[in-house]
C-alpha cells in the first residue's frame, strides 16, 4: 500500500483566505477538525523520485520533446476548502495545453501522462516543480516550468480585450513567474511573479518599475484578473485594479499562460489555481 502523506492547513473565511500550512510526517493521518474549522487542504498519495534519479534512470530523453510522460504522486485537493473562493465554481477550461520541462506543447488528451508536474482535481489545477529541475527538451539552460496555456490567441486590436481570471493558493513558494500574457514572437507583455517569501509582484517589463501587489501570501488565496488586447493590459487583485501598462507586440499572437516558470529549481514548489477562465 502506498504511503499516505497528509498536509494540514488552517482555513479561515474571506476573499484572501488564510491557509497556514503544517506538513505531517509520512504515515500520519490528520483528520479535519470540524469544531474549529481546521481541515486538511490536500492529501498526497505516494512519493516522488528526485530529478537526479529520473535523469540517471533515463526517464525522459535529453534534447528533444518527450511524449512518454512522467508520473507522480497523487494530490487530492480538499475541494470544499480550496474552491470556496470567487472563481471556485468555474470548471477547468478544456481549450488548454501544458508545457513541462520535457515537452513544450502537451495536448489535453495526454495530461494524465505528466502527473509529476501537473494534475487536475475538481475545478483546481495543481502545478508542481521539484528541487534541481531544469529544462531538458532543448539546449536552453535553466527554464524549468510547468504552465498551462490557452489555445485562444489574439493580435492587437484596440478596444478588443481578452480576459483571464483565477484564484491562486500558494502552497510551497518559489521565485518564479506564475502568470504571463505571452506573445510567440515578442515574448511576454506582462508577468506576475512570486518570490520565496510568498510576495506577489507585478512585472511591467517596460515603461514602469515592478510593483509588489501582495506580501506574505504563502498559505493564502488571492484572485487575479488580467485584461489584455495585444498591446495594453490591466491587472486586478481581489477585484481591485493594481496596475496597467502596455508593451508593443508588432508581430505574432498573444495567449495567457499560468503555472510556474523559473530557472533551475532550488527547492520543491507547488501552487493551486482554481477556477481559471478566459475569454
For 67, list phi and psi in degrees, rounded to 5: -110, -5
Query: How many helices and strands (H and E) does the chain possess?
Result: 2, 18
pLDDT at 162: 98
Using CA atoms, how far apart are residues 187 and 184, in angstroms rounded to an integer? 6
Q: According to the model, what pLDDT value does residue 33 have? A: 26
Q: Give 237-240 contacts, CB < 8 A, sequence gap 24+.
A: 237/200, 237/213, 238/15, 238/16, 239/15, 239/86
* Cα distances (Å, whole numbers) of residue 7 to 32, 34, 57, 84: 11, 16, 29, 18
Please report the pLDDT score of residue 19 as a whole number.
53
51-69+79-278 under CATH 2.60.120.200, yes or no? yes
Q: What is the pLDDT of residue 265?
A: 96
Inter-residue contact 214 to 201 (CB < 8 Å): no
* Contact yes or no for 184/252 (Cβ under 8 A): yes
Classify burial at 29, counting beta carbons within 10 Å of its beta carbon; exposed 0-12, middle 13-18, buried 19 or more: exposed
User: Tens-of-pLDDT digits for all 279 residues of the chain?
Assistant: 434 444 333 333 333 445 533 332 222 222 222 233 467 789 999 999 999 999 999 999 999 999 999 999 999 999 999 999 999 999 999 999 999 999 999 999 999 999 999 999 999 999 999 999 999 999 898 999 999 999 999 999 888 999 999 999 999 999 999 999 999 999 999 999 999 999 999 999 999 999 999 999 999 999 999 999 999 999 999 999 999 999 999 999 999 999 999 999 999 999 999 999 999
Asked if 94 and 150 touch (Cβ cutoff 8 Å), the reply is no
pTM score: 0.88
Amino acid at each position: 500500500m502506498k504511503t499516505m502523506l497528509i498536509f494540514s492547513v488552517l482555513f479561515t473565511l474571506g476573499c484572501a483566505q488564510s491557509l497556514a500550512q503544517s506538513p505531517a510526517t509520512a504515515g500520519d493521518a490528520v483528520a479535519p477538525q470540524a469544531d474549529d474549522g481546521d481541515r486538511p487542504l490536500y492529501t498526497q498519495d505516494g512519493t516522488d523520485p528526485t530529478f537526479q534519479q529520473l535523469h540517471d534512470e533515463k526517464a525522459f530523453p535529453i534534447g528533444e520533446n518527450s511524449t512518454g510522460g512522467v508520473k507522480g504522486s497523487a494530490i487530492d485537493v480538499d475541494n470544499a476548502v480550496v474552491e470556496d473562493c470567487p472563481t471556485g465554481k468555474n470548471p477547468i477550461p478544456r481549450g488548454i495545453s501544458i508545457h513541462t520541462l520535457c515537452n513544450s506543447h502537451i495536448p489535453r488528451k495526454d495530461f494524465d501522462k505528466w502527473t509529476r508536474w501537473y494534475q487536475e482535481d475538481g475545478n483546481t489545477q495543481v502545478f508542481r516543480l521539484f528541487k534541481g529541475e531544469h529544462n531538458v527538451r532543448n539546449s536552453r539552460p535553466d527554464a524549468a516550468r510547468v504552465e498551462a496555456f490557452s489555445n485562444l490567441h489574439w493580435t492587437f486590436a484596440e478596444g478588443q480585450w481578452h480576459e483571464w481570471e483565477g484564484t491562486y493558493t500558494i502552497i510551497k513558494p518559489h521565485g518564479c513567474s506564475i502568470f504571463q500574457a505571452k506573445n510567440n514572437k515578442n515574448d511576454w507583455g506582462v508577468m506576475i511573479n512570486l518570490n520565496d517569501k510568498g510576495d506577489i509582484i507585478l512585472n511591467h517589463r517596460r515603461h514602469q518599475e515592478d510593483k509588489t501587489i501582495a506580501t506574505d501570501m504563502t498559505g493564502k488565496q488571492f484572485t487575479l484578473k488580467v485584461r489584455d488586447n495585444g498591446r495594453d493590459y490591466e491587472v486586478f487583485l481581489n477585484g481591485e485594479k493594481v496596475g496597467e501598462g502596455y508593451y508593443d507586440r508588432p508581430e505574432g499572437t498573444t495567449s495567457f499562460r499560468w503555472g510556474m516558470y523559473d530557472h533551475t529549481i532550488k527547492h520543491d514548489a507547488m501552487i493551486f489555481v482554481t477556477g481559471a477562465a478566459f475569454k
